[in-house]
Amino acid sequence: MKKIAKALDVPFKVLEDMLLESRLEALGIKEPELLSLFKDIPSLPEKDKRAIINAYLKVKEKRMKKKKT
């Protein structure tokens, strides 16, 4: 990825942030607060990131079910 950033003349951090944002949006996460959390704390362990994402998706799913009821 660093080579791609260099070839595009884009800072690696910017490219990495764009990729992260795209991955999160693919999961249905578009809230700026969550996107910011992952960008601001890049050293957050992978298991913690997955736990946050899974918890968020469960809450979102339950809210959707309540709206349908």
Domain ranges of the chain: 2-68
**Span 9-64, pLDDT tens digits:** 989 888 888 888 888 888 888 888 888 888 888 788 889 888 988 998 899 889 88
CA distances (Å), origin 4, targets 1, 8, 12: 5, 6, 8
User: What pLDDT is attached to residue 42?
Assistant: 77
Q: Given this model, what pLDDT does residue 44 score?
A: 83
The answer to whether 17 and 39 are in contact (CB under 8 A) is yes
Assess contact for 38 and 20: CB atoms under 8 A: yes
